[in-house]
Amino acid sequence: MECTVNHARAHSHEMRLLTGGVDLFAAMVVAMDAAQHEVLLETYIFAFAGAGADVAHALMRAAQRGVRVCVVVDGVGTGELPAVWADQFAQVGVQVRVYAPAVGLGFWLPSRWRRLHRKLCVVDTTVVFCGGINILDDYLDPHVQGLLTAPRLDYAVSVRGPLVVAARATMAQLWSRIEAVRELRSQDLGSALDALRGAKQRLHLPARGETQLVLRDNVRHRAHIERTYRKAIGASRQDIIVASAYFFPGLRLRRALLMAARRGVRVRLLLQGQYEYFLPYRAARQLYGQLMAAGVEIYEYHASYLHAKVAVIDGKWLTVGSSNLDPFSLLLAREANVVAHDAQMAQALQASLVSAIEQGAVRVDPHAYLHRGWRERAVDALASALLRFGVFLTGKRY
């Protein structure tokens, strides 16, 4: 499904809502095939099977035309590229960097849990793609190297307008920092200083308005995404729908949802039912009782994996991005969300989420939850305690 919105005002944005890799990868390939100067791509996972290969080939075609192509993948989500693809990229000039490579036992240090989780792509400062979708085929299950019976549920947006410059700036800044580290390791101090000068340029994001790029990092934007959520939830009057693959919000964000429900706002949460990881799924269930007691409706998505990180409020405000509502995203990872005040886009996203709830999800019954067995209660409590202990190890307050 695609929804296109055109704004006639000066400094306006043209936005498209993209559902799944089917929509996103097709739009990215078209943009890359039209690129004349530059393609920048950041992703947590780059899997080359299926539709992921379509994106890889589009990157190579652009590089072969002389377009500057820079790709950053996460050291845990992707790691080193498969040798055959790394060779092909190198031959045509696609530059690839690995963010914080996972080397040895160092990965288990809490300081190494800060990952590149955002999914951004900028083409020629003309268009930016932002969302929760990795370069991963909708039907590919990377955990068992098999195929899903139904596509993964996830969203992205493409945006044209001033936001593209901000996205390009933050991506260029990260690239410069990675290059500086590479040069320092090779003891090329001159090149390292040049790269650091580029990385130190202050990042100017668009002023508050109808469409914003909201970042989370460990320097200047530590809590921007969470604050944006809390502010929008606090201003809600009628309806909130949040879809989050990993859901374990901190006290303040949880309180904002509870207060909204108690003042009569209809609050619906779409969470994983067919889960990818046991621990975060069971930890999230530990929170269900408090939320449902306040009137929050909780739906677990069983049609396939839920990977979305989106929200719609009052049919006017929406966010689409990479940030889950859990400690990993809100405290540690680099994340990027697009936030917009746009009724047409918000209602298109809301319609898609309502369809997913009605056709692919099951509502959690409060009575059945309260009367679940002691073993289930113990597992939920243990999972929650382990997740909180992990946060404690990072030295963060949540």
Q: Please classify residue 211 by burial: count the beta carbons closer than 10 Å to its beta carbon, then call 0-12 exposed, 13-18 middle and 19+ buried.
A: buried
Selection from 357, 362, 305, 277 nearest residue 147 by Cα: 305
Residue 220: its pLDDT value, please? 83
The residue from 239, 314, 341, 396 that is catalytic is: 314
β-partners of residue 355 are none
Angle at CA 85, nearest 5°, toward 84 and 88? Answer: 90
Rounded distance between C-alpha atoms, residue 14 and residue 73, angstroms: 27
Of 23, 54, 74, 124, catalytic: 124
- List the one residue out of 318, 308, 271 whose CA is nearest residue 21: 308
Would you call 13 a catalytic residue per the annotation? no
Residue whose pair of structure tokens reads 């996205």 in the numeric block: 167
pLDDT of the residue at 113: 78
Which domains are assigned to the chain? 2-162 (3.30.870.10), 212-394 (3.30.870.10)
* Nearest Cα residue to 276 out of 92, 142, 104: 142
Distance from the Cα of residue 264 to its chain's centroid: 29
- Give the pLDDT of the chain (398 residues) as one tens digit per residue: 555 444 333 348 899 999 999 999 999 999 999 999 999 999 999 999 999 999 999 999 999 999 999 999 999 999 999 999 999 999 999 999 999 987 766 666 766 778 999 999 999 999 999 999 999 999 999 887 789 999 999 999 999 999 999 999 999 999 999 988 876 766 555 554 554 555 555 555 545 557 999 999 988 888 999 999 999 999 999 999 999 999 999 999 999 999 999 999 999 999 999 999 999 999 999 999 999 999 999 999 999 999 999 999 999 999 999 999 999 999 999 999 999 999 999 999 999 999 999 999 999 999 999 999 999 999 999 999 999 999 898 887 77
* Local structure of 213: helix, strand or coil: strand
Annotated catalytic residue within 13, 224, 309, 316: 309
Residue 154 a catalytic site member: no
d(C-alpha 255, C-alpha 398), whole Å: 13
Identify the three-state secondary structure at position 65.
coil
The predicted pLDDT at position 186 comes to: 61
Q: Which residue has the tokens 């919000």?
A: 249
Q: Does 117 qualify as catalytic in the annotation?
A: yes
Strand (E) or helix (H) holding 349: helix 343-360
Q: Which of 13, 119, 221, 224 is catalytic?
A: 119
Distance CA 66, CA 55 (A): 17
Q: Give the CA-trace dihedral at 383, 385, 391, 392, to 10 degrees.
A: -160
The active-site residue out of 117, 221, 224, 316 is 117
Pick from 215, 221, 222: nearest CA to 120: 215
Active site residue 309: yes
State the catalytic residue, choosing from 13, 221, 224, 307.
307
Phi-psi region of 144 (alpha: psi -120 to 50; beta: other; left: phi over 0): alpha
Phi first, then psi: give them for residue 36, nearest 5 degrees: -115, -25
**In angstroms, rounded to a whole number, what is the distance separating the alpha carbons of residues 396 and 392?**
6
Q: What is the pLDDT of residue 9?
A: 38
How are beta strands 155-160 and 297-301 bridged, if at all? unpaired
Give catalytic status of residue 217 as yes or no: no
Report pLDDT for 163. Answer: 95
Whether residue 119 lies in the annotated active site? yes
Supply the DSSP symbol for 113. Answer: G
First to last CA, the chain: 36
Which amino acid does the sequence have at 338?
V
